[in-house]
Amino acid sequence: MSRIAGHFAAIAVLFFGTWFLLSRFDYLKLFRVDELTREAEHNLGELILDELQKRNGELGSDTVYHVVEGIKERLCTANGIADSSITLHIIVSNEVNAIALPDRQLVVYTGMIGYCKTPEELSGVLAHEIGHIQHGHVMKRLRKEVGLSMLTTLAGGDAGSEIARETARLLSSTAFDRTLESEADAAAVHMMARADIDPQSFADVIFRLSRETNDFPKRLEWISTHPNTADRCAEILRLRKQETVHARAVASEASWSYCKRFFRKNSVSVK
């Protein structure tokens, strides 16, 4: 019995000794897992953005860009997010859409800017997409829809252009699951309140979009990828009641009027 006990003791010492030694290593640093993940996400973001830019092109108006960038900056600053950590791109298209891309890139279509009646409505759309970015939803969605092996191929630059286009289409035309959408909505309400923007505007633009989808569904991509609008609006308004909001103007009347005139002149969707 003493010999068996001795074997058990030796095995226990070996096991716990090995566990202790292994616990001393930081395998994330040793194998550069975080660095490789960041590099892969950066490459994916650049690849998908390039496809969107090839399809439509990016807006050349500095004035419009600065108005939208100012909204993004206000939301970020009020919520302790480094403004420079999220890169804004404005894509020229009548499509009413906005997309969060890998590598913390935020894409807004001119159709969405033109559709919003107020800068506060646009703030809600931006806050929602920033919510997706902050919660890491973009890569979670791509891993689920595309698969890790395909993402690795894309990130390494070994995929064909057709696969890259399909990945870009996936992000711009299909929905996050309901849990992720709800999380982004809740984040948007909180971010808007902290930035002194009334979240009511977020509910307003969602409700209006949902009512008009049947009239021109191809243009309203953003609402078609964000379903269950009645429930969402009710939940947004419920969450708004939990926040203290000291609303103040998001953009000057002159700068917002300039944006609307710009879109009318350049035949971009305006409401």
Mean pLDDT, the chain, integer: 79
User: Looking at the structure, do residues 82 and 18 belong to the same domain, yes or no?
Assistant: no
138 domain residue, yes or no: yes
271 domain residue, yes or no: no
Q: Domain range holding 226?
A: 32-265
270 domain residue, yes or no: no
109 domain residue, yes or no: yes
User: Looking at the structure, do residues 171 and 252 belong to the same domain, yes or no?
Assistant: yes
pLDDT tens per residue, range 163-218: 666 767 666 666 677 888 889 999 999 999 999 999 999 999 988 887 765 544 44
User: Looking at the structure, do residues 26 and 104 belong to the same domain, yes or no?
Assistant: no
Q: What is the secondary structure of 114-160 as a DSSP string?
A: HH-SSHHHHHHHHHHHHHHHHTTHHHHHHHHHT-HHHHHHHHTT-S-
* Residues belonging to the chain: 271
User: Looking at the structure, do residues 167 and 243 belong to the same domain, yes or no?
Assistant: yes
Pairing of strands 87-91, 105-109: parallel
User: Looking at the structure, do residues 94 and 170 belong to the same domain, yes or no?
Assistant: yes
pLDDT for the residue 65? 95
14 domain residue, yes or no: yes
Mean pLDDT, residues 223-228: 53
pLDDT tens per residue, range 87-130: 999 999 888 889 999 999 999 999 999 999 999 999 999 999 99
Q: Determine the Cα–Cα distance for residues 146 and 213; give it in Å rounded to an integer.
A: 28
> At residue 247, what are phi and psi to the nearest 5 degrees?
-65, 135
56 domain residue, yes or no: yes
User: Looking at the structure, do residues 39 and 10 belong to the same domain, yes or no?
Assistant: no
pLDDT for the residue 220? 46
User: Looking at the structure, do residues 79 and 199 belong to the same domain, yes or no?
Assistant: yes
User: Looking at the structure, do residues 4 and 70 belong to the same domain, yes or no?
Assistant: no
Inform me whether the pLDDT recorded for 255 exceeds 50.
yes
192 domain residue, yes or no: yes
Distances (CA, A) of 208 to 83, 100, 183, 270: 29, 22, 21, 14
User: Looking at the structure, do residues 117 and 163 belong to the same domain, yes or no?
Assistant: yes
pLDDT for the residue 241? 95
11 domain residue, yes or no: yes
What pTM does this model have?
Answer: 0.78
User: Looking at the structure, do residues 110 and 230 belong to the same domain, yes or no?
Assistant: yes
**Number of compact structural domains in the chain:** 2
> At residue 3, what are phi and psi to the nearest 5 degrees?
-70, -40
User: Looking at the structure, do residues 139 and 212 belong to the same domain, yes or no?
Assistant: yes
- The amino acid present at 241, given as its one-letter code, is K
> Please, which pLDDT band fits residue 157 given cuts at 50, 70 and 90?
low
User: Looking at the structure, do residues 136 and 180 belong to the same domain, yes or no?
Assistant: yes
Q: Quickly count: other Cβ atoms within 10 Å of residue 45's Cβ.
A: 20
Helix (H) or strand (E) holding 101: strand 98-101
